[in-house]
Every structure is written in C-alpha cells, then in structure tokens.
Amino acid sequence: MPVTTLTSKGLKTLLCPPHQGKVDFHDAACKGLTLEVRASGGRTWYLRYRDLHAKQRQFRIGDAADLSLEQARKRADELRGQIALGKDPAQEKAILRQVPTFADFVKARYMPFIQGYKRSWKTDESLLRNHLLPVFGKRHLDEISKSDIVAMHHGRKAAGAAPGSANRLLIMTRYIFNLALRWETAGVTKNPTAGVPLFEENNQKERCLSKEEALRLYAAMQGSEAPMLKFIVPMLIMTGARKREALDAQWADFDVQKRLWRIPISKSGKARHVPLSEGVVKLLAQVQALQQSWPAAMRACPWPFANPATGKPFVSIFWAWNTARTKAGLPEVRIHDLRHSFASFLINNGRSLYEVQKILGHTQVKTTQRYSHLAQETLLEAVNVAVDALGVAFAPALCLGASEGSAALLAA
C-alpha cells in the first residue's frame, strides 16, 4: 500500500504489478484518499476513515475516469467534514439500499397488515392495483415528494373522478406512509402527503326518513314475500347497525339481560357494543318465536335473521328491500339511509353527538356530524327557547300584533 503525493500527470504511470489483482495508492496530500488500481485497468477513488465506533471503513467516491484528482480530493475533504459532524456516509448509503419501492412495501408490509383486521381490504387492493401502483409502484419511498402526491390527487380528479374518489387515494397513501414512519422503514423520514388538503365533497348522499315515511315503509314490509324483511329493517332502523352487521349477527352476540349487542367485527375491524332498546328486545323475542315454528333441524339456527330456506345468513336482501321501498313510494331510500335516520332521530330528540358517536361506533366525531340532520321543528323549538329566555325584557315587543310587529321590523 504505497503512500505518495499523487499528481495529475503521475496518475497515468501508476500500474498494478503483474502478480497482483489490484493495488492501493494513498495520497499523502489528502488524508484518507486512496486510488485503487486494478489489473484490468480500472481505477476507483476511495476514502478510508474510522466511523464513530473506531472501525476502519472504506467509502467509494467514484470512478477515476469520471473524477479528476482535484475533484476526488475536494470530495474527500467534504466527506471528512461530514464524518467529523457524526455522519457516516457508508451507513447512509447502506440505508438507501434498504429503502423499498412503493410496490415492495405495499406487498410485503401494507397488505399483510390490513388483511389481518380490515374487512374491506379487497377494496384497498383494487385501488392500489388500478391507481396508485401504476403511478408510484417502481419508485422508492424516499423518492416520492409532496408535488408527486398533489399531481396524483389532482390528476385523478382531472380524469373525471368524483372528489370523494380522489380523496380516497390521498387518504390511503397518507395511511401507507404513516405506517412506514411508525415501522421506522429505511429512508422514510417524513410523510409526503402532510399538508395536502382533501377536496371538498359536495356529493355525499344524505337521506333521512320522517316519522310518516318510516310508518309507510313499515306497512309495506308487512306484505313482503320475504318473511324476515319485516324484522331486518326495523332492526336496522332501531339500532343504527350496518346491514351486514345485522345479517351476520348471532344469538350468542346478544345479552338481553344486560341489554347489549356485541358486534365482534365492525367496519373498523374491532368489536363494538350496541345498547338494546325495549323495542329491539321485543323484536328479538318475536324472531325467536318465529324460529320455533321452523322445521326441527332449523330451530337451533345460530343466526336470528337467517334465510328460512337455507338456515344461513342472507347473501343479499336487495330484491325484497327494493320491492318494499318502491311500494312505500320511497324508491330513492337506501338501506344505509336507515342508519342515517336512526342517528337523526336521536339528535332531534335531544341526544348528544357524543352519545350518537358511541352508539354508531364512530372513531371520530366529525363522522357522526354527517348524521346530525336537525328537523325544522327541532330548530324552531331551539329559537323559541331563546325568545322564552328573554322574558319580561322584551315584553312590549312580544305583545305587538302580527301586522304591528311586521311594520316595526320594516321600520327598523
């Protein structure tokens, strides 16, 4: 390992001895700078140094065919400065080699994780396959910038997608990078989706039944050819449960004594508990009595709302539901609107958003706020409370006749 003061002209004279595969020439004028000369004729600049643990390291600066002696010395000085500040270039380079591509991270970490708890993981898989992987799949996680995220988000909307559809891609990407940060994935030091706002969604379908509409729907179900529909729909509207939660419910999930329904796996993947009203308890008793009239082999059916023909949960109840809602003159009402209606009934009768949030199983109160549709009667009652509270102070104004009151307002 000869040590010599390297010169630009002298570099051409440095050769590898015939009996060796390579030889290192150390530059006396630049600490740690080494030129590796190989028997094949190749030449490479290296920096030799000791890391924070005093271990000998070697970092490749570049090919001598691309970097001159002066450039190699300058780069070696820069690297020594970084090392003095506690940065290890070899370690940083090793970390970069470990940074997964977006596709690799999704396949190896994200999908196995959500498949363990998320019932709708197939929807994620579809969105990834059709939209996110074609854009980000081959790129390493540390190569995806905020501008790339914005371009993807806006590009999806520009392609004709609804704001909600574009937002779903942004939300999923945000979650993927949050997981990468949580799991301390190599190369991921920040979430590029941070600060990227969602599009405003004005297309959310909100439909709540009035008391009169609910009665019409109930009457239409009584004549349904599907005998379980008259139990399933009231169960949904009296508990705010999702359709699949009710259809897949088992008798073992209900504790009538404690007035509690345990839903083992909710939309969030976690168990939740729904309080049972007296109406629901009576409904379950009716279902239980009905099942006792079934053939002996079916009487021990574990599902309250099972298909009488199979003894198994319904795959779909759309035909029966569509027939009933059309007969009731409510063809636009969806089954999920029963959940909206339940929440709205609670809010309009003075229950707090917190109570509704707990009953519906929402993790965030902003989700519950979507259901808080206050009826006009409730709002009128609220403003009248303010008038009543004013009392004697505004007695003269409150005593004015209708015509006088209008004139006074116009005059003001």
Residues 68 and 34 in one domain: yes
Q: Is residue 167 part of a domain?
A: yes
Residues 91 and 227 in one domain: no
Q: How many domains does the chain have?
A: 4
Query: End of a domain among 38, 69, 97?
Result: 97
Query: What confidence score (pLDDT) does residue 405 get?
Result: 44
Q: Is residue 193 part of a domain?
A: no
Closest to 35 measured CA to CA, from 57, 55, 16: 16
Q: Is residue 206 part of a domain?
A: no
Q: CB count, 10 Å around CB of 290? A: 14
Residue 314 is part of a domain; what is its CATH number? Answer: 1.10.443.10
| Residues of the domain holding 399 | 377-411
Contact 132, 193 (CB under 8 A): no
Residues 83 and 154 in one domain: no
Residues 227 and 307 in one domain: yes
Residues 354 and 384 in one domain: no
Residues 232 and 272 in one domain: yes
Residues 150 and 114 in one domain: yes
Q: Is residue 188 part of a domain?
A: no
Phi-psi map region of 156: left, alpha, beta (phi>0 left; psi -120 to 50 alpha): alpha
Residues 357 and 244 in one domain: yes
Query: What confidence score (pLDDT) does residue 402 get?
Result: 44
Contact 169, 182 (CB under 8 A): no
Query: What confidence score (pLDDT) does residue 111 get?
Result: 95
Give the SS3 label for residue 262: strand
Tens of pLDDT along the chain (412 residues)? 578 888 888 888 888 988 889 999 999 999 999 999 998 889 999 999 888 777 888 888 999 989 999 999 999 999 888 888 888 777 777 666 788 999 999 999 999 999 988 878 899 999 999 999 999 999 999 999 999 999 999 999 999 998 989 999 999 999 999 999 999 998 899 999 999 999 987 655 668 888 899 999 999 999 888 999 999 999 999 998 999 999 999 999 999 999 999 988 766 667 888 889 999 999 999 999 999 888 887 888 999 999 998 999 999 999 999 999 999 999 999 999 998 888 888 887 877 777 877 888 777 676 677 665 555 566 566 666 666 666 655 555 555 444 444 444 344 4
Residues 330 and 382 in one domain: no
Residue 293 has which token pair? 């009239």
Residues 67 and 126 in one domain: no
Residues 226 and 172 in one domain: no
Q: Is residue 284 part of a domain?
A: yes
Q: Is residue 194 part of a domain?
A: no
Q: Is residue 205 part of a domain?
A: no
Query: What confidence score (pLDDT) does residue 356 get?
Result: 79
Residues 281 and 394 in one domain: no
Q: Is residue 56 part of a domain?
A: yes
Query: End of a domain among 36, 65, 97?
Result: 97
Distances, alpha carbon 95 to alpha carbons 60, 99, 187, 192, in Å: 15, 7, 6, 19
